[in-house]
Structure 1
């Protein structure tokens, strides 16, 4: 396993994401990123690609082209997982039902994608706002 002292990524978080990327598992997490909280359900890269594609379909021609691009990447990723026995080591984190909490403001983001190396800390579980 990677030595945390020599990495910009948290080994535990990266392992959790890797497990998610190789399954249909969804896990509630709250991340601290540059002083902001981001909370949501940790999902696989493939789930993120498919959901983004679906959200874009049918809006206009350009959105349909971009949707097709996300579909293509999802299929290529699935083929890679099948041929190699699993997803590659993650560098990105994907959340659904995401919320950004910045002081007194909460922003509903639906889906969120960010660099694992930008996460300052995390907890397993969703942060509940009043």
Structure 2
């Protein structure tokens, strides 16, 4: 089996996000970790990432501009196959512990070929969970 094999259904969702500004709550299994968040377009991912650098030094502002350009390039090439998946409000679970990072609006990018499985919906932490 090729290491570049991708789930065609998940790739379809990613292309819908990239082409039609479609979002979807999804949870991924990636090499033993569980990644849960909201699927967004590559352009939205790069735009949100660029905001982290907007008000910084000259170098930070240049990074922000380059990230916006990267998002525009991806949007222009949205008819090509998708190789990466982008999530916002992401939580990463490794083992039976609290998610890492557990606070903040975390952006996540991963290779579609590395995703072992997925299900629709996000994992939500209940405030009163007991073990």
Report the TM range for the smaller structure's normalisation. 0.7 to 0.9
Is residue 22 of structure 1 aligned with residue 15 of structure 2? no
- CA displacement, residues 72-112 of structure 1 (integer Å, 9 cap, x when unaligned): 2223334x25xxxx442100000000010112131136100
Give the Cα separation in 1 of the matches to 2:72 and 2:48.
13
Give the Cα separation in 1 of the matches to 2:66 and 2:82.
20
Moved over 6 A (4+): none
What residue ranges of structure 2 are gaps of 5+ in the alignment?
Answer: 127-131
1:21–1:87 contact (8 Å) kept in structure 2: no
Alpha-carbon RMSD across the aligned residues, in angstroms, is: 1.7
Which is strand-richer, 1 or 2? 1
Q: Report the TM-score, using the length of structure 1 for normalisation.
A: 0.84
Equivalent pairs, count: 121
Q: Decide which of 87, 90, 94 is 2:82's aligned counterpart.
A: 90
Give the Cα separation in 2 of the matches to 1:121 and 1:69.
32
Q: Decide which of 100, 107, 110 is 2:100's aligned counterpart.
A: 107
Change (3 A) 1:112 1:77: same
What residue ranges of structure 1 are gaps of 5+ in the alignment?
Answer: none
Which is helix-richer, 1 or 2? 1
Give the Cα separation in 1 of the matches to 2:42 and 2:100.
22
